[in-house]
């Protein structure tokens, strides 16, 4: 009996064993190198590098005698949290495929070419996605509906797809950050101990100036595009080709209108995407006269056009659930890696080192922003970034008598906005997969995302908008 007790006590001690600082840094370096090499070689993207991270973690566990089963349980716990996102990605793939086959995307392209001046496409995209995200509280839904539509128009106009994607993402994240209906807008103040109204008002200080700058920059970029790279002859050819392949009209816009209505009515995003896909499938059957077998095949494999125009082929030959499986793999391995690193105590070493930076309000905010980025980089999860950062920094803010809404603002300025800037983060993978644009193409145009923390730092070091509590 005594031996059994000693065995379980020793096992419990082993389970709590974690990596030290040098071991943590070596492991992180190996992971970063493996991911960077895969991205640089443009082979398998970050997916293979992230898969390799699991092997590195396994070898480290064996080398320092940490039970791997205990560590990998952290991966499965983290993956469980992002299952809705994985399902959402596959639902987006189905919706894009069915929208293409039903003629919904083709109708949007034709109307866009006829009604929108290319010089104003970028600022209009930013505003459209901002409003939709703000009133629905979801960046996912905005990107999956308005974002897909604006990308199709921009591609047909020959406008840099990275710019269009940047405008879509900036607009979507603006609403995701400020909308009282957004999960992050509610989570951040809850973690920081702030009131929702105070939190939103505090965020206006950092978000509105950067939004104005972002709008100006996209306006300038749009004007520089002049008329895009297409001529009136191109436009006529595109419209004729699309009218030749599809029966276009108001009825083909039903799936797009339906999903916006459903999102505004707060219907679950996956359900909204599914209902829109069913509507698109019905239009494909009754209007486009496609067979049921063809519709199901498109839902999985994506749409394939017979149009010869190269630009239109690029726009129309995509979609399907199968096209999203690689992105599902990236998120799975990335989030799982984050869960294992947390179990190994890697985050604790980094966060404790960051805390040593705190000397005044400015360095406290700097430390908070860095912590938000680091936790996002490793955990690949907005909720986890908010919880970990908030849990660490809340006592520091309280000690310095800084109002909790300043902490919640910092959580959003870093943890919420970091997602689309990290290639293997769930948010970035979703944006890239849905919009059909690589991370490297849209990253330079994420003005709102990397300018907002700059204002947060300026306020921190100057004292502007920094509210203190009594005590």
Cβ atoms < 10 Å from Cβ of 393: 26
Same domain, 162 and 249: yes
Give the chain's domain count.
2
Q: Give pLDDT, residue 14.
A: 46
Q: Phi and psi (nearest 5°) for 94?
A: -60, -45
DSSP 42: T
10-residue averages of pLDDT along the chain (471 residues) = 44 63 88 81 74 92 91 89 84 91 91 85 93 82 86 89 96 87 81 88 94 96 71 76 90 92 85 93 95 95 87 84 87 86 84 83 93 85 82 87 93 91 87 90 95 95 89 58
**Which residues are registered as beta bridge partners of 468?**
402
The reply to whether 164 and 270 lie within a common domain is: yes
- Distances from the Cα of 247 to the Cα of 106, 208, 276, 285, 297, angstroms: 9, 43, 18, 12, 20
Longest CA–CA span in the chain (Å) reads 88
Q: Is residue 300 one of the residues assigned to a domain?
A: yes
pTM of the model: 0.82
What whole-number distance in Å separates Cα of residue 156 and Cα of residue 150? Answer: 10
Whether 202 is in a domain gets the answer: yes
Supply the pLDDT for residue 5: 44
Question: Is 157 a domain residue?
Answer: yes
Per-residue pLDDT at 471? 58
Q: Do residues 295 and 162 both lie within one domain?
A: yes
**pLDDT value for 412:** 93
For residue 21, the model assigns a pLDDT of: 84
Residue 43 burial by Cβ neighbours in a 10 Å radius (0-12, 13-18, 19+): exposed
Residue 15 in any domain: the answer is no
Q: Which domain holds residue 38?
A: 20-82+325-462
Can you tell me whether residue 402 is helix, strand or coil?
strand
pLDDT at 390: 85
Answer whether 411's CB lies under 8 Å from 386's CB: yes
pLDDT at 209: 96
pLDDT given at position 43? 66
* pLDDT (0 to 100) of residue 231: 63
Find where tokens 């960046």 sit. 139
């Amino acid at each position: 009996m005594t031996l059994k007790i000693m065995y379980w006590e020793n096992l419990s001690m082993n389970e709590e064993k974690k990596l030290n600082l040098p071991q943590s840094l070596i492991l992180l370096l190996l992971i970063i190198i493996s991911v960077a090499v895969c991205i640089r070689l443009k082979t398998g993207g970050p997916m293979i590098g992230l898969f390799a991270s699991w092997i590195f973690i396994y070898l480290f566990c064996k080398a320092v005698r940490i039970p791997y089963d205990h560590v990998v349980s952290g991966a499965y716990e983290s993956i469980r949290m992002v299952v809705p996102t994985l399902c959402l990605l596959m639902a987006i793939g189905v919706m894009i495929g069915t929208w293409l086959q039903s003629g919904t995307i083709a109708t949007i392209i034709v109307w866009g070419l006829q009604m929108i001046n290319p010089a104003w496409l970028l600022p209009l995209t930013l505003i459209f996605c901002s409003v939709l995200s703000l009133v629905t509280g979801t960046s996912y839904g905005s990107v999956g509906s308005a974002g897909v539509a604006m990308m199709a128009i921009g591609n047909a106009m020959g406008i840099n797809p990275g710019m269009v994607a940047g405008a879509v993402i900036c607009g979507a994240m603006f609403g995701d950050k400020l909308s009282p209906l957004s999960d992050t807008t509610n989570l951040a103040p809850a973690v920081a101990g702030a009131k929702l109204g105070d939190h939103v008002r505090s965020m206006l200080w950092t978000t509105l100036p950067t939004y104005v700058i972002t709008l100006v920059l996209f306006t300038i970029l749009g004007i520089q595009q002049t008329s895009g790279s297409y001529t009136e002859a191109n436009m006529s050819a595109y419209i004729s080709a699309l009218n030749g392949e599809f029966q276009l009209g108001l009825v083909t816009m039903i799936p797009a209108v339906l999903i916006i209505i459903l999102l505004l009515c707060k219907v679950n995003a996956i359900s909204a995407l599914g209902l829109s896909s069913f509507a698109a499938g019905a239009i494909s059957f009754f209007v486009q006269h496609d067979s049921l077998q063809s519709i199901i095949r498109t839902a999985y494999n994506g749409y394939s056009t017979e149009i010869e125009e190269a630009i239109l082929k690029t726009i129309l030959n995509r979609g399907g659930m199968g096209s999203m499986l690689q992105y599902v793999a990236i998120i799975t391995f990335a989030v799982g890696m984050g869960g294992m690193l947390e179990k190994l105590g890697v985050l604790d070493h980094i966060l404790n080192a960051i805390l040593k930076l705190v000397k005044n309000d400015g360095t406290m905010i700097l430390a908070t922003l860095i912590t938000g980025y680091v936790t996002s980089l490793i955990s690949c999860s907005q909720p986890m970034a908010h919880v970990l950062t908030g849990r660490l920094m809340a006592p520091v803010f309280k000690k310095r008598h800084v109002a909790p809404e300043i902490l919640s603002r910092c959580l959003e300025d870093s943890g919420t906005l970091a997602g689309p800037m990290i290639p293997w983060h769930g948010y970035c993978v979703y944006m890239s997969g849905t919009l059909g644009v690589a991370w490297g193409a849209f990253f330079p145009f994420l003005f709102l995302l990397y300018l907002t923390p700059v204002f947060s730092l300026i306020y921190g070091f100057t004292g502007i908008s920094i509210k203190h509590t009594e005590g």
